[in-house]
Amino acid sequence: MALKGASTWGCSKPHPQLGVASYHSGLIGNLRYDLNKCRKWECCCLGVLAQRATTAVEDEKPIVPLVESSGAADGTIQNDSIGFHKDLNLLSKPLTAIDISSPSDGSKVRVAYQGHPGAYSEDAALKAYPQCETVPCDEFEAAFKAVELWFVDKAVLPIENSVGGSIHRNYDLLLRHRLHIVGEVQLRVNHCLLGLPGVRKEELKGVVSHPQALAQCERILNDLGVVKISAHDTAAAAETVALNCVRDTGAIASSRAAKIYGLDILAERIQDDDENITRFLVLAREPIIPGTDRPHKTSIVFSLEEGPGVLFKALAVFAMRNINLSKIESRPLKQRPLRVVDDSNEGSAK
């Protein structure tokens, strides 16, 4: 097995009988002892990040004031939408990396997330910090930089989905930026089909949303026979439908996004898999000190040299100490070339 040029993420949970404090210090020491003992392979610990225990999955719907139209209602959809246009311009615009210039005043916790107002990431931020001030960012990296430069206090970013799998971009950004995992949020995804007021779902000819949301609702979209249109995120799709006022175009987004952008919910829970859960990480500049009152998760990044059984030896370090690994993720090391290995276990860089 050729593993040169791959970094491995391990997420572990100590045995309930093990003290967390001794687990952290003993784990690093034992890792170094066992790895130095074996000369044929090498395991380099790049970082140990403490992470709070997982919060329970709840189908929460954070309360957001309904955006009301400011024009007089005359019974036409066009005038209603114009009223929403005026209010939509007051929503926070996603930050870019170059917009981050000044820190917050410290009056409340400011939490960055990727997407537009009404995105599922904002729902996760509000679940973690119900009284927080959410700050939208246009890209994942902008959220990382917002925390590093003290513009916000925390960032809540997705790391994996039960249907779509891991978000590899954020794994790579965790290695690039010096932030710490201080919490975790699990959010149940409830996709809704949204449309302009008065539109029926049978009238739709196209549906816009994030590519993953479109893939997760493939069954109903195929039944409707609509054209699938990709968007940057689900909330941006809802905003696009509200602004363009095209009656035959719908969006897939959350129920909270429907309230924010003044859209009707044409159908709820349209995802193919009911158990659609996204796990988010809470990131901060400083790590937390885990207590001993409950088990905590620890994330470790290490690299392996090429050789037979090197991954088995690395995992044996945890197994011999009764430490449970809840997830393993492998990422390529960009500074090392990919090796093509033949039957003799000898390969050359390509």
84 annotated active-site: no
- Which of 140, 151, 280, 318 is labelled catalytic? 280
Tokens encoding 188 = 């149940």
Q: Is there a contact between 108 and 250 (Cβ–Cβ < 8 Å)? A: no
Query: For residue 140, how far is the Cα from the chain centroid?
Result: 9
Task: Output the 3-class SS for the chain.
Answer: CCCCCEEEEEEEECCCCCCHHHHHHHHHHHHHHHHHHCCCCCEEEEEEEEECCCCCCECCCCCCCCCCCCCCCCCCHHHHHHHHHHHHCCCCCCECHHHCCCCCCCCCCEEEEECCCCCHHHHHHHHHCCCCEEEEECCHHHHHHHHHCCCCCEEEEEEEECCCEECHHHHHHHHHCCCEEEEEEEEECCCEEEECCCCCHHHCCEEEECHHHHHHCHHHHHHHCCEEEECCCHHHHHHHHHHHCCCCEEEEECHHHHHHHCCEEEEECCCCCCCCEEEEEEEECCCCCCCCCCCCEEEEEEEECCCCCHHHHHHHHHHCCCCEEEEEEEEECCCCCCEEECCCCCEEEC
Gap between the Cα atoms of 93 and 283, Å rounded: 21
Pairwise CA distance, residues 255 & 264, whole Å: 9
Distance (Å, whole) CA 94 – CA 112? 10
Residue 151 falls in the annotated catalytic set: no
Q: Exposed, middle or buried by CB within 10 Å (0-12, 13-18, 19+), for 262? A: buried
Distance, CA of 294 to CA of 161 (rounded, Å): 25
Catalytic residue among 8, 134, 249, 278: 278
Residues that are catalytic: 278, 280
